[in-house]
Amino acid sequence: MDNARVTDAADLLHARTPDARFYLDATSFAAVRERVFARSWLWLGDLADAEAPGSLVPRTLLPGLLDEPLLLARDSGGTLRCLPNVCTHRGHLLVDAPCRRSDIRCPYHSRRFDLAGTMTFMPGFEGVPDFPGGHDHLRSLPFETFGGHGFVSLDPAFDFDSQLAPIRQHLPGLALETLVHDPSRDRTFEFDAHWALYVENYLEGLHIPFLHPGLMTALDWPRYRYELHPWGNLQLGLDEQGGVAAHYFWLFPNLMLNFYPWGLSLNQVQPLGPARTRVVFRSYVARPELLGRGAGGALDAVEMEDEAAVQSVQRGLRSRLYRGGRYSPQHERGVHQFHRLLARCLDA
């Protein structure tokens, strides 16, 4: 990776933002896919459909980028695992749709596994030496749960608990599993911009007075606060009365957990290409009577304003006259941290 594109400059006052080529280059995009996303903890969705013993639930990890076929499997004792959804014989997908079974059976040649991933049966392999071996079983992947949500990493480069520590610190009484998913508020947006531009926009409040007039009425912007943590950060928005209007948590590299008085808006950024991004919104409601109020009241309008901005930046980055800029010490510490974490992963 060309270090001129994302530099790990610790000194915020003298650092420069990544070279514009980083947001345009297919080689850089591929490096981020393998060195950042394939080694990070990623949200796999809520687990409501995998609660019963015997549940088998196929999931695709980061569709459009990693496209990794995975399988949630809960055994008779209640243990939930995340396994590859790929047969160890010839690579056929094992489960196409959610179901409940006592074992996992490949529909191609009937290789079978228990719900812990151990191969238990395979026809036509009599006399094969050292069979079954380790590669014939399904490997249980690093998998964690938080408040009814699943997180998985193909090869974690850092500890999952270190990401959750700030949320537990600021919201010690949070019972995330009691929040109710509201499908009517789910949204999926696709737009023409690099995924990192969307994250950068999220990580700074400098643009709020200029881009979000509606949101400004719900925030006491001069008291907007930032906290940096090892693998994420928090933006704390207060209202005019001094109450908390929003906790905006970002978990590296691509997850936003936005806690409002009404509940949680969860946003996952899904890179699709150097200039194409999908963002998935999911809402989990604790107090429906507060929906439509405050900083979390007009999320669709705020999203459209943000998308217009990052698409404009994407177009501007193609200019031959622009290479990179400087950071606002007051408002862009989170952006700087994001770039340093990217550089750390890319140089590892």
**Domain range for 48:** 42-145
For residues 204 and 190, what is the distance between their CA atoms, to the nearest angstrom? 21
Rounded percentage of the chain residues whose pLDDT exceeds 70 = 98
If one counts every other C-beta atom within 10 angstroms of the C-beta of residue 2, the result is 14
Tell me if 36 is assigned to some domain. no
Residue 157 within a domain: no
Segment 275-298, tens digit of pLDDT = 999 999 999 999 999 999 999 999
Segment (H or E) for 164: helix 160-170
Q: What pLDDT score does 53 carry?
A: 97
- List own/partner pairs for 140-144 with CB under 8 A and 24 or more apart: 140/81, 140/82, 140/83, 140/116, 141/70, 141/81, 141/82, 141/83, 141/84, 143/80, 143/81, 143/82, 144/41
What is the pLDDT averaged over residues 133-146? 97
Q: Is 63 in the same domain as 99?
A: yes
pLDDT higher at 2 or 340: 340
* pLDDT tens digits for range 212-246: 999 999 999 999 999 999 999 999 999 999 999 99
**Predicted pLDDT at 4:** 38
Whether 293 contacts 262, CB under 8 Å: yes
Mapping DSSP to helix (H, G, I), strand (E, B) and coil, where does residue 306 land? helix
Domain total in the chain: 2
* pLDDT reported for residue 5: 60
pTM score: 0.95
CA–CA separation, 249 and 231 (whole Å):
11
CATH code of the domain containing 113: 2.102.10.10
Same-domain pairing of 192 and 243: yes
* Model pLDDT for residues 166-217, shown as the tens digit of each residue: 999 999 989 999 999 999 999 999 999 999 999 999 999 999 999 999 999 9
Contacting residues for 286 by C-beta, under 8 A, at least 6 apart: 178, 179, 180, 262, 263, 264
Please report the sign of the dihedral spanned by the C-alpha atoms of residue 318, residue 199, residue 242, residue 179.
positive
Instruction: Give the pLDDT of residue 54.
Output: 98
- Across 335-345, b (16+ Cβ under 10 Å) vs e yields bbbbbbbbbbb
Q: Is residue 25 part of a domain?
A: no
